[in-house]
Chains A and B, each alone.
Chain A
Amino acid sequence: AQTVTQSQPEMSVQEAETVTLSCTYDTSESDYYLFWYKQPPSRQMILVIRQEAYKQQNATENRFSVNFQKAAKSFSLKISDSQLGDAAMYFCAYRSAGTNSGYALNFGKGTSLLVTP
């Protein structure tokens, strides 16, 4: 199974500042999908952004953007103009393009983001 590594258990950012969360993964596949999910204290899993490996252009969703480095197997999430509501656990996830495990997501251990006023 592919391994997803989030090396930062906790991160802190001041309101209105920018923060980058790191994610690396191990795979021998050339086609796959990558996701960032946000989990606030409510426990709900919320999709933040997704990236298709065959697309070289980095995905962007409003204040959230990714830096996808396929050769380095790196998929970092940048949050600009951080807001108090961004405080949450963030999970990086990998999904194979093949049918292994029914397209199930493979998650990293998560990064807890604290946003200070």
Chain B
Amino acid sequence: NAGVTQTPKFRILKIGQSMTLQCTQDMNHNYMYWYRQDPGMGLKLIYYSVGAGITDKGEVPNGYNVSRSTTEDFPLRLELAAPSQTSVYFCASSYPGGAYGYTFGSGTRLTVV
């Protein structure tokens, strides 16, 4: 059982470039999330999805876009990368309610130069 798979694990982007962070889960979880982790700041919610075709903004959505065409996949798109988007990105998933915890991917370390 793979859980939540994120690709790539590392990436360096130049300012103004675009990229998509991939996230796939094989647990049939309805709920999926994207977080970013900055040093000393904990994890902040970027976007979330409660099912295929349904997405909504979290606390820090500016500069990002998401889509959810299937239950399994929840890609995060960065348009016009900026140095402020240098961070570690985590994808997570849960059953509705998430009371029993969330499954996290292993993260993507992104550097924008």
A and B physically associate: yes
- Which stretch (A70-78, A79-87, A102-110) binds chain B? A102-110
Contact A104-B101, Cβ < 8 Å, known A44-B106, A110-B42 = no
Interface extent on A, as a size class? 20 to 34
Contact A47-B101, Cβ < 8 Å, known A102-B56, A103-B94 = yes
What are the residues of chain A within 8 A of B59 when measuring CB–CB? 1
| Nearest chain B CB to A92 CB, angstrom units | 9
Q: How far is the CA of A110 from the CA of B41 in the complex (A)?
A: 8
- Contacting pair A45 B90 (CB below 8 A): yes
Contact with A along B22-46 (1 / 0, CB 8 A): 0000000001010100001111110
Q: How far is the CA of A43 from the CA of B102 in the complex (A)?
A: 15
- Contacting pair A95 B98 (CB below 8 A): yes
- Contacting pair B42 A91 (CB below 8 A): yes
What are the residues of chain A within 8 A of B98 when measuring CB–CB? 33, 95, 103, 105
- Contacting pair B104 A44 (CB below 8 A): yes
- Contacting pair B45 A101 (CB below 8 A): yes
Contact with A along B79-100 (1 / 0, CB 8 A): 0000000001010101011111
Closest A residue to B43 using CB positions:
A107
Chain B 35-86 interface residues, beta-carbon cutoff 8 Å to A: 35, 40-45, 48-50, 56, 58-59
| Nearest chain A CB to B47 CB, angstrom units | 10
Q: For the complex, is A15 an interface residue (Cβ under 8 Å from B)?
A: no
What are the residues of chain B within 8 A of A45 when measuring CB–CB? 90, 92, 102, 104
Q: Which 6 A-B pairs have the closest CB atoms?
A: A45-B104, A107-B42, A102-B48, A109-B42, A103-B98, A107-B43
B interface list, Cβ under 8 A from A: 31, 33, 35, 40-45, 48-50, 56, 58-59, 88, 90, 92, 94, 96-102, 104, 106-107, 109
A interface list, Cβ under 8 A from B: 1, 4, 9, 33, 35, 42-45, 47, 50, 52, 91, 95, 101-110
